[in-house]
Structure 1
């Protein structure tokens, strides 16, 4: 049956009246406008136009309601329901209104409150019965149709009050409606979409019933009627500008009332914290622009919003079940979105953000303790930093057999590392092996990012929002986001104008890059660049390295591991792990020399430093004497030793001096291990640019312009580092007690207690967070210590009947003072490093890692735990 045939049983008078929704003469004059719609809608409008009846806005409300009701009689009946019952609700102002509860044949998995359209003047639940039944069948939700009071008999805010009263009634009667507590969805089309949006705002403002999702179908959002769609002749179909003015004049004749958010939700000052929303619009609709603008405004406020425009459709198409094929398509789309939302909406004991080594081990531990746990990961697999950092030459700078989990002896024995310093693919393979071995992926949601996390003081739980629109309720929120996971995008003028290939080392293409025959620029000479540059130089026709600050680097002397040393380590792993836990940096060999540098003569010192150099171990030089990192004279001796090594490795004296660091002490920026890094500058196709002498002015469409001129390139590699320690945490909108944003609390620098907890943020834990040893240590050792401590803390809370735990302000302040004092006893503050945030413009300068050592820190943490978690508040 065609759309036109479907009207055969309709009352002809009603059909003639309905024709007034369109300007028939204009449509006949502009036949091409109608054909912008799909065929069924075009045929429907053409039939209406041929009748030439007056529009609704030319009628009295009662006459218009009669016509609308008679049109609805032609709708085909909806599917059978398990039950249908009408109820009368007494509203907050004493007035009564009807609701209809449509129960699907299966057990309801949600309660969907639907407010019908009709400009607050027309429509009722009888006319929307078919649509309500179809929604109930497709979504599996109990659908509650609301027959709110209409204008002009009951003007604004009567309909809005009834809409909210319906929400509170459903919330109070949820178990009788659905058999158990289920998510509540507010929905509506046109004026009903307006009411759904108003209800969501009021529920937020008054801490009313929890709303899981807003379904807003071409909603009215602004009584100003000043969006472009109102002036577009193409949109004057079925709903036109004069009819919208008629609706507003009946509903809110006082123009000041229309400026209230209760009438125009787009005028609300703060849209943050609203439930996720699905906004459905039609291409040719006067309401399209204001509906989409409202969706975009919610998105800008941090609300997860999906906006779906149905092309070649007009207003009201969604409410024409069985008449327009597009209505069925839209219903299916809405059903799919609600399926996704309801299927993933959940309540768990703990949410972990990140599936790197920290997130995987934390998931394993909480599982062992019987906690229901979800991990949210933005990548499509595990691995964290080793998933993203795939640039050529990427490899670990801690010996592989030491950079591995110790929590499971069988895992230690079954996995065999191939190289002294394993490359990224092998480390990622290890992470994937761990995930497989402990069946971790079933509790990890991949390709999903956490956008915000709000602490609910009433429920003492975290509401965790994702970019998929999911909201997860959790007692514990554990941030395993990593210290070096927030990429620092290039802040060079013109960086987005370059027409050639651009790459960021921390976001390297998984398929790899071939630089053969190309002119390449690398900007940055940190750890990633030092590893990548030798490999790029081997491929590129010409490589230019732009260096702002040179790094101290020593050769890794990487090699395949021999079977004998592998077996020796596996035999003594237990003793070695204990030594790791009780070492300053979690790297027990070579042992730290407790002699000051001045205690030895030049020859003895040189021999000791040569041994350290030849070891190829990251901490060998800084461990060569006890005062290398605390005494400037001692550091100068070791620093000059390294500079001499650089001079010996680089043939051109000027280039060697440019590569030799002189402005900061050795070890106060992350030291590097390399393979042929300095030797790369001996190649004929490699050139070094000293940005202190010739700074970059801008990136141009063809290359890089410095103060000495412009060079053209085929590709630019940005090795610009990370917003370390705090970046990944601050990029999520985390809000604790009194809606305090973590980013605001850290505006003057990150203060935590032990790098594990933040005052004012109950049950929030940060693995290797700011002011813990983290980046100054073997990260796996610090990760395991933090995960074990957090897991033990949660077990203690549950054993002792505590619901929440958070650091006190006093303990947090004392730890911050201690952390700063410890750093000031060393040379670390002298360097403009990412340890203090110096690489990020505007970031507060504060030393972000605990320098006291893994061993001392572990003792402090254990002592605090054994003293019933001194410095923490519990409830």
Structure 2
């Protein structure tokens, strides 16, 4: 069990305060304890107005509270609070109601129904239904007019909300537009499997739930469908439902099953289980960040159901650097843009990759945006190669400075994007069901955002801690005193292994392919040096845009074998000591195209490995020998080879000793089993195409992109795809992309796409897509260039070789950033030559 940190802290606080279990108290005592818990929570938004009222019910009246948001309301929500029909009241839930009103833009009417055991079933049901009818008949007086009516509730309140929907259907009652059920109680038999799980006995336990049921309804009465909505004969013709559950909650199975039954009965359903959360988390929006996310998701789903299809000019998928800049550019053109982002914040690569040592491999001053002089002048980098936290802060600064987050839906993964030929629009649907129509679709999903699932036998057997470098926990990992296995030696592992080794008692690195890496020589960035660059940024950027890699370093025009051996060694030494990514490759012009030249530089690096690593066998195993240097993305490192001199670090050469299987306790090879406390999978990404193909993209005639690319990806300029009108891919396959400084390539792509969309608007064009012949010509050109180099000699992710079954072809454009820019500019200047616009 792994609760998030905020929830863990709250539970620990309750334990330290010796909060008694509610089932050990009388109902009155339980109510007092529950009130005290809620009194300790921060109040809700002050800008929400509040007005108490009296709601007539059989036998008298009950209290109600009307909460109005600060903005124009989109709906009216009748909210039934939780508490097992025994505890809780509208004062306890005031903060919840205020947050709901503001987040969901709803007028929230809280109902203080009478409680058991003084008022057992069916009194709470009757009170809630009377309140629902009262709200519907008082629309004019309450100033809610034609607003759609939503019933909502958490826990026992979720039970009552579900029952209201059934009762209104069966008795021709008020027209309910939506039911929002937050970890609802649905079945009085308490027979769901989750009731038996020890890790779900948090805040609400099986004993406490039995305590509530015993006070509310006896063993026979609780089987009434108006007490247990899961036992209703038919769930058909009920209003759409938004159902929310918590992973560590005994009610999780009840909620999930009820959602499934609703869906099977033809009811539109949005369902989400909030990971690492316990029962009651939703009612703590000011104390638990996850509660705020849950409310935001609820608001999103309410909008989706109450306003099924939104319309935008452009949908952008991804809020990394490319998605953010694309949003900014299109906004400047006056377009209405919606960005969807699977993460909880901006940053893309630098949001997800939080593993130890994660940092950029392009110098910080170069790896930054140039579109705003104010931005590039005001931001100060702390290091030559900035670490992940600083890069994420840079992304967040950009989002805040240009007010981008208001048009970004976070925690929202796009499930599908289908082109509608009748309207010339893309229908984009998220995994949680939100639907948006837009003329243009921009996939800014990044090239290294699809972490590859390790394909190692027995992976699910392991009972220890497991981590993937591409999906590292936000809170970090403490390896102190642990035995750690690291599988993989790509760029992520090269950065992570030295730091893991500083903490762990024992580190075993499992290497299939040895890596070429050179010293980064990272250091604090000298402010005077940074000031010199800033003073000449215009010239600096101009050099970047025309450089082959998008940097400012110049490549020598000399050929390797045209100079003496002494001169070659001097140049290679200079590259080794330069501490920059192209430092070695820029020493001569032919290092990536001539095997003899590459052999020379490869052997120089192997000599440096031999000089550094003390153990002869380990050094031999670390020597890359089966591919030319630079045909996989070269790494730069801090003490990578030196780490293998540590007594607590060892290397397993999988070419000689392959993994047979992952076991419950560790890893078994031909030499036996080793036990570990943690396994780190540094097994890379489904690069370039993976992020695109994980979305169900369908173009003209319903053709799937997966089918169109069955034999490998084809596109025109790496930007657009035949048969998929108005779809643009930022740094997509067959563009310079990963062979370049990504920020330079991103800016060029986004500027080009934005200009194209503006041209279409000016020319009155509804669609644009490349012709099949133009796409074929570009594919032949990119393949021809790649075959002129040594790149195809490596089984790299550049070739798709790291993903079983992936078509083998070179996935990037090797002609260089400057050449590519000129080609794209010429295409646009010629009226978008190679494109078909209508």
Match for 1:463 among 419, 427, 452?
A: 427
Q: Which residue is 1:306 aligned to?
A: 271
Deviation of 1:634 after TM superposition, in Å, equals: 0.9
Alignment check: 8 A CA contact 2:333 2:758 kept: yes
Task: Find 1:546's aligned residue among 504, 507, 510.
Answer: 510
1:131 aligns with 2:174: yes
Equivalent residue of 2:466, what SS? strand
Whether the 8 Å CA contact 1:524–1:719 is kept in 2: the answer is yes
Would the aligned equivalents of 1:348 and 1:374 in 2 still touch at CA under 8 Å?
yes
Partners of 2:489 and 2:513 within 8 A in 1: yes
- Would you say the 8 A contact 2:304–2:435 is kept in 1? no
Aligned to 2:787: 824
Of 411, 414, 434 in structure 1, the residue corresponding to residue 398 of structure 2 is 434
**Which residue in 2 is equivalent to 1:564?**
528
Is residue 79 from structure 1 mapped to residue 136 from structure 2 by the alignment? yes
Give yes or no for contact 2:494–2:637 (8 Å, CA) kept in 1: yes
CA distance 1:335–1:693, shift in 2 (3 Å): closer
Partner of 2:11: none
Q: Report matched runs for 1:416-455 at 5 Å.
A: 416-455=380-419
Whether the 8 Å contact between 1:139 and 1:335 is mirrored in structure 2 is: no
Aligned to 2:208: none
1:803 to 751, 762, 766: 766
Say yes or no: does 1:596 pair with 2:639.
no
Q: How does 1:256-405 map to 2 (within 5 A)?
A: 292=260, 295=263, 305-306=270-271, 338-339=302-303, 341-342=305-306, 346-405=310-369
* Aligned residue in 2 for 1:529: 493
Q: Structure 1 residues 711 and 625, CA, compared in 2 at 3 Å: closer, same or farther?
A: same
- How far 1:650 moved relative to its partner? 0.7
**8 Å Cα contact 2:225-2:232 kept in structure 1:** no
Residues 293-329 of structure 1: per-residue CA shift (max 9 Å, x gap): 6837999xxx974389xxxxxxxxxxxxxxxxxxxxx
Contact 1:3 1:43 survives alignment (8 Å):
no
8 Å Cα contact 1:304-1:466 kept in structure 2? no
Match of 2:656 in 1: 693
Q: Are residue 583 (structure 1) and residue 583 (structure 2) matched?
A: no
Match of 1:716 in 2: 679
Cα deviation for residue 490 of structure 1 reads: 1.4
Instruction: Tell me by how many angstroms 1:2 deviates.
Output: 13
Match 1:502 to one of 455, 463, 466: 466
| Aligned 8 A contact 1:594 1:625 in 2 | yes
CA contact (8 A) 2:319 2:348 kept: yes
Aligned match of 1:740:
703
Q: 1:131 to 1:572 in 2, by over 3 A?
A: same
Question: How far did 1:429 drift?
Answer: 1.3
Give the distance between the partners of 1:139 and 1:501, measured in 2 at CA: 39
- Deviation at residue 747 of structure 1 after TM alignment: 1.4
Structure 2 unaligned runs (5+)?
1-54, 61-115, 124-128, 152-165, 181-220, 246-250, 274-296
Matched position secondary structure for 2:687: coil
* Aligned counterparts of 1:584 and 1:629: Cα–Cα separation in 2: 13
Counterpart-to-counterpart distance in 1, 2:338 and 2:680: 36
Q: Deviations over 1:493-548 (max 9, x none)?
A: 12122111111111111221111111111000000000011111111111100000
Kindly report structure 1 stretches of 4+ aligned residues shifted beyond 3 Å: 1-6, 38-45, 75-78, 103-112, 123-129, 233-240, 275-281, 288-291, 293-299, 333-345
SS at structure 2 position matched to 1:130? coil
Change (3 A) 1:126 1:496: closer
Q: What residue is the counterpart of 1:22 in the other structure? A: none
Secondary structure in structure 2 of the residue aligned to 1:543: strand
* Counterpart for residue 806 of structure 2: 843
CA change 1:367–1:304 in 2 (3 A) is farther
CA separation of 1:429 and 1:707: change in aligned 2, threshold 3 A: same
Shift of 1:130: 2.0
Q: How many residues align?
A: 645
1:397-449, Cα deviation, whole Å (9 max, x unpaired): 00110000011111111111121111111111111111111111111111111
Distance 1:623 1:833 in 2: 21
Structure (1 or 2) with the larger CA radius of gyration: 1
1:626-645 equivalences in 2 (<5 Å):
626-645=589-608
Note the 1:164-313 alignment, pairs <5 A: 292=260, 295=263, 305-306=270-271
3-state SS in 2 of match to 1:657: helix
Distance 1:576 1:336 in 2: 44
CA contact (8 A) 2:495 2:637 kept: yes
Q: Distance in 2 between matches of 1:334 and 1:654?
A: 58
The Cα of 1:235 is off from its aligned counterpart by 7.7
Q: Distance between the aligned counterparts of 1:613 and 1:601, measured in 2?
A: 18
- Measure, in 2, the Cα distance between the counterparts of 1:851 and 1:627: 13
* 2:145 pairs with 1:106: yes
Distance 1:461 1:111 in 2: 31
Scaled by the length of structure 1, what TM-score is found? 0.67
Assess, with a 3 A threshold, how the Cα gap between structure 1 residues 401 and 239 changes in structure 2: closer, same or farther.
closer
**1:280: how far off?**
11
- TM (norm. structure 2) is 0.70
Equivalent residue, structure 2, for 1:872: 835
User: Is 1:609 the counterpart of 2:577 in the alignment?
Assistant: no
Task: Map residues 9-88 of structure 1 onto 2, 5 A cutoff.
Answer: 79-80=136-137
Q: Residue 430 of structure 1: SS of its match in structure 2? A: helix
Change (3 A) 1:76 1:541: closer
CA distance, structure 2, for counterparts of residue 852 and residue 276 of structure 1? 53
Contact (CA 8 Å) 2:259, 2:271: kept in 1 or not?
no
Contact 2:733–2:812, Cα closer than 8 Å, also in 1: yes
Shift of 1:392: 1.0
Q: Indicate whether 1:731 and 2:694 are aligned.
A: yes
Q: Is the 8 A contact 2:736 2:813 kept in 1?
A: yes
Aligned-pair CA distance for 1:108: 5.3
Give the structure 2 partner of residue 707 of structure 1. 670
Is 2:301–2:434's contact at 8 Å kept on the other side of the alignment? Answer: no
Give secondary structure in 1 for the equivalent of 2:585: coil
Are the counterparts in 1 of residues 314 and 440 from structure 2 also a CA contact under 8 Å?
yes
Partners in 1 of 2:714 and 2:390 — Cα distance? 36
Gaps in structure 1 of 5+ consecutive residues: 7-37, 46-71, 84-102, 113-122, 141-232, 248-263, 266-274, 309-332
Contact 1:395 1:424 in 2 (8 A): yes
- Select between 654-663 and 557-566 the one with higher mean Cα deviation: 557-566
In structure 2, distance between residues paired with 1:711 and 1:562: 46
SS at match of 1:383: coil
Distance in 1 between residues matched to 2:378 and 2:298, nearest whole Å: 49
1:1-16 to 2 correspondences below 5 Å: none
Distance 1:410 1:743, change over 3 A: same
Contact 1:279 1:295 in 2 (8 A): no
Specify the alignment match of 2:23 in structure 1: none
- 2:621 maps to 658
Could you tell me whether the CA contact under 8 Å between 2:136 and 2:174 is conserved in 1? Answer: no
Q: Corresponding residue for 1:678?
A: 641
The separation in 1 between residues aligned to 2:448 and 2:809, in whole angstroms, is 17
- What is the DSSP-based 3-state SS (H/G/I as helix, E as strand, rest coil) of the residue aligned with 2:536? helix
- Tell me if the contact between 1:4 and 1:43 (Cα under 8 Å) persists in the aligned partners: no
Q: What CA distance in whole angstroms lies between the structure 1 residues aligned with 2:513 and 2:645?
A: 19
Tell me the secondary structure at the aligned position of residue 679 of structure 1. helix
Distance in 2 between the 1:409 and 1:687 partners?
A: 48
* 8 Å CA contact retained: 2:362, 2:581: yes
